Structure 1
Amino acid sequence: MLCWGELGSGIQHKPGSQTGDVLTGQRIQHVCSRDGVTVFVLGNGKVYIRVRGRKQKTEPGLFPHFKQQIIHFAASGTSHILFLSQAGTVYQSEVKSKDTAAATKEFSIMKPQVLKSLSEKNIIQVACGNNHSLALSKDGQLFAWGQNTYGQLGIDTKGASQPIPRCVTSLTGMPVAQITAGGGHSFALSLSGAVFGWGRNDRGQLGLKDTEDRHKPNLVKLLKCKKTIHISCGEEHTAVLTKDGLVFTFGAGSYGQLGHNSTKDEIKPRLVGYLFGKRVSQIACGSYHTLVFVASSGEIYSFGRGENGQLGNQETSDQLVPLPVNITDISDKNGTENGLTTKPAVRRILAGGNQSFAQIGDEAGLESSVDPSALHTLKRIMKVDRVLEKELDRNTIRAIVQAFSSSQSLSASFLDVSKDGHFNTNGEVSGLDMSAVYLGFVKLVKNSSVLEKVKNAVEDKLIPSLPQSPACVETLRVYIILPELIAVLTGSATLTDSLNKAILSLEESYLKILECWWSTMPYYFFKRLVDMYQKKSKQLLQLTREGTLKDNSKLHDSLTILQTLYKVNSSRRKKIPERNFCIRVMKIKYFMKLIAYPCIFDAEAKLELLNWWSARAMQWTAHNPLALNQPICLQVARQMILQDALEGLRSTRLYLCGPRIQVRFTGEASYGPGVSQEFFTLFGRELHSNGRIFQRSEDSELLWFPSWEPERDDVFYHVGILCGLAVSNGFICNFNFPLALYKKLLQVQPTLEDLKELSPVEGNSLQEVLDYEYDDTEDEFCLDFTIPRQTADGDTIYQDLIPNGSEIPVQKHNRKQYVDAYVDYKLNTSVKKQFEAFARGFRNSALPVVDVFRPEELRDLIHGNADYEWDLLEKNAGYDGYTQTDKAVRNFWEVFRNLEEEKKKRFLAFLSGSDRLPVGGIQNFQIAIINTRSSEPDSSYPRAYTCSRSLDLPNYSNIEILREKLLHAIESGEEFNAQEL
């Protein structure tokens, strides 16, 4: 052991073997020190303490109070020392001091006392501040006690001291990897590198960008995704080490202890640039100095206060930048070899107070006992996957049950360690290896008795302990792991119900994170999750029908999560088929009760619900002649469809959603569904060709809200009304709107894919920016955070996408932000006023049931289907007064089959008023061929979609005459029946 700084014999300015003759040849497991007291923990479990007293004692003395206990770690504060035994027991000794006549202090160590409140907790780490203490249990619980002047205990209060250890509940569920403490501040490090600090912050030692004290743990956001693996605290400063060997420091800089060539304080983590190119493997902080160790070169660097020789540079001056410590000039057997100076192999560095230490490789047994990363305590964290690898003896079974009782242990398990994947845990990635989860439970299921104990532990202990507002996203891993446990359990209904309530009780922001994790979950596991909730919901719905389900909240909880998974599925790269969500609902009364969960309805059920609601509204109006919701009657001229329709709506007042609509063409006597359908078809065509209301995309021909103001303020509102009327009345109107419009109507956020549909050139250009992987994005694309916009005068100006966007170039690191901002502006911000007017009109005329449809379904419902399977039209046809083998019928279908595609579409429009098909395609479109001379047609017989034209064939046995008459009818729109002959 090499040491330097303020030692018992005085001040030693350079590294030397001055631990005392008693310790020569002993394996030193750990060293800790504060003013006047140094504690040596030996590999054999004995403790030696050097105390500065009246005679300036130099020889460490055996601490006589541990005869039966094996101590493997110690931590010291200014007023106390903690000892941690190999069995996980914590002892505390009070340190007393008194001033002497020589203006020095004498120290005495009191007999250690067992902390009984922690005796059953199996403690694996302890840490001391000046006057407060921390302890970490094997199952991940963090305890704090002592002085709380600055909130350093993290128990959500400050001021009063706490003599009894209290659990830091705000970190419940977080898999804590390391705890450490400075003078009046504390830190906890999660297993995946999240850093939380609390307590005194007057010098910025918490790294939170201010100097306000914190009385509960706060995430150091500036260290997110830095892969932090170790934290060390000084009196008023902090240093952190990353997996990549980078060192960040913050807090007090008065003596240069931050290593930035300055004595300024830093209130946020700052990279120690003077260590650039050196992969640091260990860090250690004394009170006002810092050590770092570079394993590849074997060099120790020091910086900060040097008054007591603690920098090891043979000087007493402060050092503002890291400089190497000369450890070659030592007078022992490693000092020279064949006359050449050699450097001893350093295995570990430590610091405390005004002292520095380096454990070297020639100490007995050191190589096997000390982890070079200084994170050997991580190996003792209880993890389910590690326990499952052991043989199932009594102790292992007990450990498994304990692990499943703790959300901290479960959150620390099954991590994606390949390429340090778990360090990337964030709001989008869980850091879990789902294959490891699956294999772990495959092992567990082999022992049914253990599985039952695990189930009870999860239900009785783990789930009740889950916080509604977790401190760390890593806590949410439990919600990904537990469904895999449920999948291998039998009789897991109550466990699923408990899990559902825990999920739905999460604060919204954390539920959103869970949704993001679901969206990136591997396909197989996401499908298992969907299948689990679909099966569970189906079972509960059956119990509801039977009247045996007393608690309906269980059904609604399960359906709520299933509906959430359905929403998540829409954003997944590889989607689950929608049929996996569906549950057949037989009675319409259940439709209404379950309308909040449209994922369980297939397209047929949704249409049935829409038709039922529409018919109900019509019946209500018919039986209430004084009802306000009377049909809307429009009279329009064929030459002025658009203008007359908008003017007619301006003179009509809507009272309720889903009114009926009747349209008459000026100068024509007929009206009815067929005429109204023809109106909507003509309206859609004129809207598309008009160019004064909506802007037509040049490369997609789709319509979108314009950048200019319309001639009348209410025009978008009334077009929205017509869109709502179309869906409520079952009419097809190809408005030529992109899917983005229907997403917005159903409160689904449009994406880049939607912009590609509306404007392919623009969208694909943005995709090129996203796909460009090189670092010269700025030079290649020459973009900034602006977007071109046309003014009313036709001029082009550039709109900032973010504040000062014109001054911010698009680079590799911010290109996604640019694309997201561009899409948001194009599809949301720039058309906010116009869309809100359209949406208000749509909601005023559409039935509320439209919310059960997906955006794609709503678009197809209104725009119609263009998938023409003409053979199905013939296959599904019905006959009244004819048979399928009659010559006239055979001739008709032969003529139809030989028509050009465009003629077939026009015939479809002749029959129904629209050349597009209803939802479901042509298989949901049935025509009836009727012989009106043979019998009166049955009004209940299925006919064409709107039956606007009759199709009668009695005298068309001559195929040429039939072809001529059919083409004439298509072209002229006249009736096609026997009365023409």
Structure 2
Amino acid sequence: MASLPMEVDQEAGDASSTFVLAMGNNSDGQLGCGIAEDDDDKVFAPCELHAFDSVNIRSCSSSLKHSIWLSYDGLVYTSGDNDSGQLGRAGKRAKPFKIDSIEHMPVESTAAGNGFTVLAAKLDGRLMGVGRGDRGQLGMGGADRDDKERVKFSSALDEQLLNLSAGESHCIALCRSGKVLAFGENKHGQLGVGDFVSTATPKPVPSLSSRPVVQVSCGAAHSLARTATGLLWSWGCNEHGQLGLGDLKPRFRPEQVKAMRVSRCVDVAAGNRHSLSISEKGLAFSFGAGGSGQLGSGGIAEAEPYPKVIEALKEIGTCLQIAGGHSHSLAVVLNQESLRENLYVWGLGSSGQLGIPRENLYEKKLSPLPQKLRLDPSLKIVSICSGPLSHHTFLIVSRAAGTESRGGYPGTARESLSPRASLGPFRHSLHTAIDADELLHALRSLKGSEGIQQTALVKAVGAAFSSVSVLNASFRRPSPLGTTAESSGVDLLKVRKAYHTLVFEMRNADLINTLGRATVSICDELAKQRVPTDDPETLCVFLVLFENPLLLAEHRTSLFAGFHVALQRLTAAVLSLPKDSQKLLFGWLKHLPSEYFGRVVNVMQQYVTYVLTQPGQNQSDVSAAVMMLQTLWDANAEMDGILPEWCFQSLAISQSADLQEHYRQWQQQQSLVFSYCRYPFLLNAGAKRRLISFDVELRSQVASQELWAKVLREGLGAPEHAFQRALVYRVRREHILSDFCGQLWWRIENQPESLCLPLTVDFVGEHGIDAGGLRKECLHLVLREMYTKTQIFAELDEWPGLLWFRPPSEHDKVLSVTPPEQTAHDETWVEHLPEIAGAIVGLAVYNAIYLDFRLHPLMYKFLIHGLANHSIEDLHGLHPSLYRSLTSLRKHDIRDLCLTWSVRLPGANEDTALGGRPRSADVQQDELEAFIREYAQAVLYAGDMEQLRGFVEKASVCMAVGPAFRLCTAHDLELLICGLPYLGDFKDLELSCKYANGFHPDHPVAKMFWRVVHGMSEIWQRKLLLFCTGCDRVPILGLRALNFVLSRSAVDLDHLPTANTCINQLNLPEYPTEEMMHARLHAALEHYTGFGFA
């Protein structure tokens, strides 16, 4: 976890001993093994560097004439030519010696160029340099010709460097923040800053901004960068095709190597004029100059502009490491058969850099194909090192303790020399990414610590979590490496665990504040549209940020006060993304558990609530948050609704006092005015009921005026009497179905404007004024009798409790009886039962009456969208078994099934001929799709499309569909008709309860009643609702809106409780004990069968 260690040491622990083998040109002592007396400056057999007998070497860097070694303790050793002071010390040159002047400052990374050395400090990431600076290659602002051997320090950098790579006269630096800096010579565009101007001051590489770069490598005059998702970028000199871009033109800005996009890189290396990479599958690729065989293709090529697989290595096994020198290459390969790791070398070997004797080289100079370097089998290669100007090679190897040295070089086994010398996962490590497991280990090991370590931890977290590049590179799954339309590669579970540990387990106020400030900082950067969107890897940061618990309501206010600033900027950043990027970003969440997408929606909902509840709310912030929710709503629709509708509904907006004004503006189509009603998914069913009620009130006024005008115009008797006849339904309980349906059908046919008046019912022979209870009771009784006597509806076999139309042959026509006096009645209603059923549903919506009438959800879809919007997929929800049977026909040869066009529809007692074809006609293979389509349609329409169309049309007429209704979804309509499907908390019912006839909240019997009710199971609580209200569903505004009345009954104690469902009243005798009340109440509920039991 290289982003977080800054001053937090993650390398402590037991380690194996390492030692260094060297081979190749040693004319200036660059191998560090001394110069032989026979003046042979070439070493063809790997030799051990005994200068490191007591030192564990972590890495090596080399140039043409000097070399650098870095120990695990951060100490730097150098040897070789020192004409420019590049060794950073005086004294012997042929053997490695420590740079004493920086011994107090541990080093994180080293790089060697032509006559210069650059270093990055471990503690603060400061740039250090020594040697030639005439071309700005030290990054110190200019050449420093005084005291060349003195290591110089940069003080101008704000960035902390993590990894360095040097070419002949330029350097590329990877910072802990993920930024890529460049300095030095720029003759060929190798700095990647967009021009050919050299610079002595480190400058950011703009094209790599925000990209998850994890590795950089310099050739002599070209540069490479690899991202966490395995993309390869190249720029600079390209005269031999070393950029892999398919041509020989130089580039002064990084360009993606498209040829490696599919393969995805896990390691890259640059030689002098050639480049090497390893794909995710372990294939080695090479491109660029091959005149010395350094491409490993078996031939000699001056230029190869396309990356090509090194076939010889592919046949051997999986490539694990790769490195390039001036004109040679080397790789560690895991053999498929022996499962051993071996070193393979190829290219120029005339200086011994391959470790192969001259006689084994082509023309004693080179090896165009990889050759296995024979090493002691007890050795394990830790790292392979060379450089773009180097004609020599270093191997960092380890050997088990107690193993005797053998082979062509001397060596002795050693004990583990330092408890800090852990090798760790060196290969393919992500240098600028947060590894969740390492982060959690570091945090938990430092929990409760104080002082320097705790300060370092806070600082490291702030730096990492404020960097777009770092978060884009972090928390990635090991495989597959890249991003696809289905997967971002980010392990969101690990992200959530990391945040949970940072915020809740550490319990450190400084850490939380630092994380909060980092969150604001990174959101600000994203909002300024500095993030490139040309590749999906730059979008991963958004997934990580949405998991931040500081953005959630239950944590943010108490933990971090600036959360709203971060949310405002994060919202702006997401909205500024191109539509394709938004679609991809949220599309990733489709393939994960819905809780992750729900987290994003929840964060934005909380932000909307916060903004709306603040005094002097900023309308632009509200509209931005709403537009963000619109984006999420659209994404959810494209993901087939992985989140239910209620997740997007905003309680703050639904309860807003400004909702009616927003509705008015929307009605008037004021396109330039922001209105909540443009985003109906934000409104819950309660808010839509309010708007529908507003519509109903206006329409009732207009209908009343029209009806009065009609009565006066036609002069049919006294106007008041005629108006009352049109307004009031007079029904007899014993003939309620006939009376109500006849009068309703007459109004539909002759006086449709009266349907827009409030429904008023008068039960003949009974005293009372309809204040809402009588009409509710009437509709319930009518529907109950329609269901039991006409059998127009049937219960679905696979959905118990849900109703659908029965095929027409099953309808029992009910004979009309003499209507009550002084009523307008149409006896033909018996021929229009489907239309009347639809009209009753419409009247219930218009008059805000909840019905105990459970239609299948598909019916509400038809009521909202019409009959045209249906498909065979709708059959899956209605008759799942039949759907599976029909669609399975496509897998069979129907000639073997003997299918005919005559079928038996669900609920029917006789067969139906589909599509007007003869009943005995066989279904042909080319008619199969038509058969499936017509069969499905016949089932959906219950064999008669006209009855379903009549139901839908008359429901729409009686709903008096207005603008507010258009805001409703099918689910909203179901709630408006049936109420909420879940009970909620019965304590809400107790709080809103009204008391009558001597009962009050503190009455002992009332208290006893509520104890009994709260102890009931959900089944019995539903029975209580059904008993008292005629419906076991809850109003859309909850139990508080039920207007429940508990009334004292003066009957004897052996009587059961009774109910007046028209006013939601329970009449309860004063039972003396809780046991008696429990028994009597359960008896009443158990034997209740419907209206009239009281």
TM-score, scaled to structure 1: 0.57
- The answer to whether residue 245 in structure 2 is matched with residue 177 in structure 1 is no
Is the Cα contact below 8 Å between 1:147 and 1:162 reproduced in 2?
A: yes
Tell me how far apart the structure 2 counterparts of residues 614 and 201 of structure 1 sit (CA, whole Å). 75
Question: What per-residue deviation string (whole Å, max 9, x for no partner) do you get for residues 63-100 of structure 1?
Answer: 76635444464212235321334433332223499xxx
Tell me how far apart the structure 1 counterparts of residues 160 and 470 of structure 2 sit (CA, whole Å). 17
Corresponding residue number in structure 1 for 2:661: 589
How big is the alpha-carbon RMSD for the aligned residues of Structure 1 and Structure 2?
6.1
Secondary structure at the counterpart of residue 548 of structure 2: helix
Q: How does 1:810-849 map to 2 (within 5 A)?
A: none
Corresponding residue number in structure 1 for 2:111: 75
Is the Cα contact below 8 Å between 1:347 and 1:360 reproduced in 2?
A: yes
Of 159, 175, 187, 1:149 maps to: 187
Q: Quick one: structure 1 residues 195 and 675, their matched pair in 2 at CA, closer, same or farther if it must change by over 3 Å? A: same
Corresponding residue number in structure 2 for 1:278: 317
Tell me how far apart the structure 2 counterparts of residues 742 and 288 of structure 1 sit (CA, whole Å). 73
Question: What per-residue deviation string (whole Å, max 9, x for no partner) do you get for residues 306-337 of structure 1?
Answer: 44443333324443332212335xxxxxxxxx
Tell me how far apart the structure 1 counterparts of residues 518 and 51 of structure 2 sit (CA, whole Å). 50
Corresponding residue number in structure 2 for 1:239: 276
Tell me how far apart the structure 1 counterparts of residues 510 and 884 of structure 2 sit (CA, whole Å). 62
Question: What per-residue deviation string (whole Å, max 9, x for no partner) do you get for residues 672-693 of structure 1?
Answer: 57999xxxxxxxxxxxxxxxxx
Larger C-alpha radius of gyration, 1 or 2? 2
Is the Cα contact below 8 Å between 2:54 and 2:417 reproduced in 1?
A: no
* Stretch deviating more after TM superposition (206-215 or 371-380): 371-380
Q: How does 1:681-760 map to 2 (within 5 A)?
A: none
* Aligned amino acid, residue 475 of structure 1: V
Corresponding residue number in structure 1 for 2:21: 2
Tell me how far apart the structure 1 counterparts of residues 131 and 272 of structure 2 sit (CA, whole Å). 20
Is the Cα contact below 8 Å between 1:752 and 1:763 reproduced in 2?
A: no
Gaps in structure 1 of 5+ consecutive residues? 98-106, 329-341, 624-667, 677-726, 769-793, 797-845, 866-919, 921-941, 943-981
Shift in Å, 1:162? 1.6
Q: Quick one: structure 1 residues 122 and 670, their matched pair in 2 at CA, closer, same or farther if it must change by over 3 Å? A: closer
Shift in Å, 1:124? 2.2
Q: How does 1:14-29 map to 2 (within 5 A)?
A: 14-17=44-47, 27-29=56-58
Secondary structure at the counterpart of residue 312 of structure 1: coil
Corresponding residue number in structure 2 for 1:187: 224
Tell me how far apart the structure 2 counterparts of residues 669 and 740 of structure 1 sit (CA, whole Å). 23
Question: What per-residue deviation string (whole Å, max 9, x for no partner) do you get for residues 488-513 of structure 1?
Answer: 22255642343333333342244333
Of 229, 235, 241, 1:198 maps to: 235
Of 381, 386, 393, 1:351 maps to: 386
Tell me how far apart the structure 2 counterparts of residues 242 and 64 of structure 1 sit (CA, whole Å). 37
Is the Cα contact below 8 Å between 2:196 and 2:252 reproduced in 1?
A: no
Tell me how far apart the structure 2 counterparts of residues 182 and 63 of structure 1 sit (CA, whole Å). 27
Tell me how far apart the structure 2 counterparts of residues 15 and 671 of structure 1 sit (CA, whole Å). 108
Question: What per-residue deviation string (whole Å, max 9, x for no partner) do you get for residues 337-359 of structure 1?
Answer: xxxxx664433211223222222
Secondary structure at the counterpart of residue 575 of structure 1: coil
Q: Quick one: structure 1 residues 379 and 386, their matched pair in 2 at CA, closer, same or farther if it must change by over 3 Å? A: farther
Corresponding residue number in structure 1 for 2:196: 159
- The answer to whether residue 496 in structure 2 is matched with residue 496 in structure 1 is no
TM-score, scaled to structure 2: 0.52
Question: What per-residue deviation string (whole Å, max 9, x for no partner) do you get for residues 675-716 of structure 1?
Answer: 99xxxxxxxxxxxxxxxxxxxxxxxxxxxxxxxxxxxxxxxx
Of 326, 333, 336, 1:287 maps to: 326
Corresponding residue number in structure 2 for 1:507: 577
Secondary structure at the counterpart of residue 626 of structure 2: helix
Question: What per-residue deviation string (whole Å, max 9, x for no partner) do you get for residues 799-837 of structure 1?
Answer: xxxxxxxxxxxxxxxxxxxxxxxxxxxxxxxxxxxxxxx
Of 592, 598, 603, 2:680 maps to: 598
Corresponding residue number in structure 2 for 1:319: 367
* Aligned amino acid, residue 6 of structure 1: N
- The answer to whether residue 568 in structure 2 is matched with residue 549 in structure 1 is no
Tell me how far apart the structure 1 counterparts of residues 373 and 146 of structure 2 sit (CA, whole Å). 33
Tell me how far apart the structure 2 counterparts of residues 78 and 219 of structure 1 sit (CA, whole Å). 28
Is the Cα contact below 8 Å between 1:424 and 1:431 reproduced in 2?
A: no
Tell me how far apart the structure 1 counterparts of residues 886 and 47 of structure 2 sit (CA, whole Å). 69
Shift in Å, 1:568? 3.4
Gaps in structure 2 of 5+ consecutive residues? 1-19, 28-38, 85-91, 135-144, 400-410, 533-537, 667-674, 706-747, 757-841, 847-855, 892-923, 927-960, 979-1035, 1037-1061, 1063-1094
Q: Quick one: structure 1 residues 114 and 465, their matched pair in 2 at CA, closer, same or farther if it must change by over 3 Å? A: farther
Shift in Å, 1:164? 0.6
* Aligned amino acid, residue 30 of structure 1: S
Of 277, 287, 294, 1:257 maps to: 294
Corresponding residue number in structure 2 for 1:33: 62
* Aligned amino acid, residue 31 of structure 1: C
Is the Cα contact below 8 Å between 2:128 and 2:152 reproduced in 1?
A: yes
* Aligned amino acid, residue 80 of structure 2: R
Tell me how far apart the structure 2 counterparts of residues 616 and 415 of structure 1 sit (CA, whole Å). 58
- The answer to whether residue 178 in structure 2 is matched with residue 133 in structure 1 is no
Corresponding residue number in structure 1 for 2:450: 393
Q: How does 1:371-382 map to 2 (within 5 A)?
A: 371=424, 373-375=426-428, 378=431
- The answer to whether residue 634 in structure 2 is matched with residue 567 in structure 1 is yes
Tell me how far apart the structure 2 counterparts of residues 208 and 742 of structure 1 sit (CA, whole Å). 56
Secondary structure at the counterpart of residue 220 of structure 2: coil
Tell me how far apart the structure 2 counterparts of residues 602 and 121 of structure 1 sit (CA, whole Å). 50
- The answer to whether residue 459 in structure 2 is matched with residue 459 in structure 1 is no
The count of corresponding residues between Structure 1 and Structure 2 is: 694
Secondary structure at the counterpart of residue 286 of structure 2: strand
Secondary structure at the counterpart of residue 185 of structure 2: strand
Q: Quick one: structure 1 residues 168 and 670, their matched pair in 2 at CA, closer, same or farther if it must change by over 3 Å? A: same
Q: Quick one: structure 1 residues 117 and 271, their matched pair in 2 at CA, closer, same or farther if it must change by over 3 Å? A: farther
Shift in Å, 1:126? 0.9
Question: What per-residue deviation string (whole Å, max 9, x for no partner) do you get for residues 379-438 of structure 1?
Answer: 997986565332342432453254235446587579997972583555543333244145
Tell me how far apart the structure 1 counterparts of residues 970 and 249 of structure 2 sit (CA, whole Å). 48
Question: What per-residue deviation string (whole Å, max 9, x for no partner) do you get for residues 611-631 of structure 1?
Answer: 9789989999999xxxxxxxx
Secondary structure at the counterpart of residue 678 of structure 2: coil
Q: Quick one: structure 1 residues 171 and 404, their matched pair in 2 at CA, closer, same or farther if it must change by over 3 Å? A: farther
Shift in Å, 1:464? 3.9
Is the Cα contact below 8 Å between 1:756 and 1:762 reproduced in 2?
A: no
Question: What per-residue deviation string (whole Å, max 9, x for no partner) do you get for residues 729-783 of structure 1?
Answer: x99xx9x99999999999x9x9997998999799968999xxxxxxxxxxxxxxx
Q: How does 1:906-945 map to 2 (within 5 A)?
A: none
Is the Cα contact below 8 Å between 1:83 and 1:91 reproduced in 2?
A: yes
* Stretch deviating more after TM superposition (215-224 or 29-38): 215-224
Tell me how far apart the structure 1 counterparts of residues 702 and 288 of structure 2 sit (CA, whole Å). 73
Is the Cα contact below 8 Å between 1:82 and 1:91 reproduced in 2?
A: yes
Shift in Å, 1:848? 8.7
Q: Quick one: structure 1 residues 466 and 134, their matched pair in 2 at CA, closer, same or farther if it must change by over 3 Å? A: farther
Tell me how far apart the structure 2 counterparts of residues 250 and 741 of structure 1 sit (CA, whole Å). 65
Shift in Å, 1:556? 1.7
Question: What per-residue deviation string (whole Å, max 9, x for no partner) do you get for residues 107-142 of structure 1?
Answer: 999325434246664422111122221223334333
Corresponding residue number in structure 1 for 2:397: 360
- The answer to whether residue 98 in structure 2 is matched with residue 60 in structure 1 is no
Question: What per-residue deviation string (whole Å, max 9, x for no partner) do you get for residues 40-66 of structure 1?
Answer: 445662422212989xx9823647663
Tell me how far apart the structure 1 counterparts of residues 368 and 24 of structure 2 sit (CA, whole Å). 17
Tell me how far apart the structure 2 counterparts of residues 738 and 213 of structure 1 sit (CA, whole Å). 64
Of 33, 44, 47, 2:77 maps to: 47
